[in-house]
Amino acid sequence: MTLLDVHSLSKTFTHGSASRPAVDDVSFTVGEGETLALVGESGAGKSTTGRLVLRLTDADSGEITFRGRDLRSLRGADLRSFRRDAQMIFQDPFSSLNPRMRIWKAVAEPLLVHGLCPRGELKDRAAALLDSVGLGTHLLDRYPTVLSGGQLQRAAIARALSTDPSLIVCDEPVAALDVSVQAQVINLLLDIQQERGVSYLFVTHDLALVEKLAHSVAVMQSGRIVEYAATDVLFADPQQEYTRTLLSAIPELPEAAAV
């Protein structure tokens, strides 16, 4: 079943007079329980696409259908319900978690915001969420500054999972982590998908990761999708010179094998 259907989506940011679209006539679908990777060079429009899909940025034109409903026209209670159902994980867990908030509060905050859990039970829920991402409950009362990058990203994942979303936009979620920790976090994301059937829109520069976790791939260049295919098809038979360049930049084994 299709969870997310994006059709001819465009967005131009106007800085001064000169402007070219950040996202230009972009179309793709994400199936339930599946992962679509968005790849491409810096400035290609990957993060903007993720933000448009989450309604964090308003599109200029195009259609976004989520669970069969027109996302761009959602208002009020329907929009709030969408905000529970779609979450985001960012590249830098150091800046995505409030440094002055204890880990349990940060993890449970979406539950509080959406009124999904009585106050008195928030800490217990946070403990269960930490456990589900492989973090010990001894971290509950700590502040983000004393956690490692990998621990923080796990906490950010726990926070994203708190509302039991069906879509998570992951924007370079392991790019800031050590290679050994990257593999662990990727495996956690894969386990979560297996267990919960969550869909990922997965933004990355790393084609080795794409091969490991994506069902399909959209290659972006200057705001446009220049190639879009099932992962195995794209790797076996890239159609665009640009895609071949990206593929040729994949580091040789053993790094790819370790992930």
Ligand X SMILES: Nc1ncnc2c1ncn2[C@@H]1O[C@H](COP(=O)(O)OP(=O)(O)OP(=O)(O)O)[C@@H](O)[C@H]1O
Judged by the rule CB under 6 A, the positions of this chain that interact with ligand X are 13, 15, 22, 40, 42-48
CB of 4 to ligand X, least distance (A): 18
Nearby residues of 158 by Cβ (< 8 Å), 6 or more positions away: 107, 126, 129, 130, 132, 133, 135
Specify the long-range contacts of residues 116-123, CB closer than 8 Å, at least 24 apart.
116/84, 116/162, 116/163
CB of 51 to Mg ion, least distance (A): 9
Q: Which is nearer to ligand X, 170 or 192 (CB)?
A: 170
Residues numbered 114 to 153 that lie near Mg ion (CB under 5 A) are none
Q: Which is nearer to ligand X, 15 or 119 (CB)?
A: 15
Q: Which does 42 bind (CB under 5 to 8 A by kind): ligand X, Mg ion, none?
A: ligand X
Asked if 153 and 97 count as a contact pair (C-beta separation under 8 A), the reply is no
CB environment 15-53: b (16+ within 10 A), e (fewer)? eeeeeebbbbebebebeebbbbbbbbeeebbbbbbbbbb
Residues numbered 18 to 77 that lie near Mg ion (CB under 5 A) are 47
Q: Which is nearer to Mg ion, 47 or 221 (CB)?
A: 47
Q: 137: buried, middle or exposed (CB in 10 Å: 19+, 13-18, 0-12)?
A: middle
Alpha-carbon gap, residue 251 to 42, rounded angstroms: 18
CB of 191 to ligand X, least distance (A): 26
CB of 48 to Mg ion, least distance (A): 8
Q: Which does 22 bind (CB under 5 to 8 A by kind): ligand X, Mg ion, none?
A: ligand X
Distance of CA 49 to the CA centre of its chain: 11
CB of 136 to ligand X, least distance (A): 32
Q: Which does 216 bind (CB under 5 to 8 A by kind): ligand X, Mg ion, none?
A: none
Q: Which is nearer to ligand X, 19 or 180 (CB)?
A: 19
Q: Which is nearer to ligand X, 8 or 145 (CB)?
A: 8
Q: Which two tokens stand for residue 126?
A: 């946070």
Enumerate binding residues for Mg ion (CB under 5 A).
47
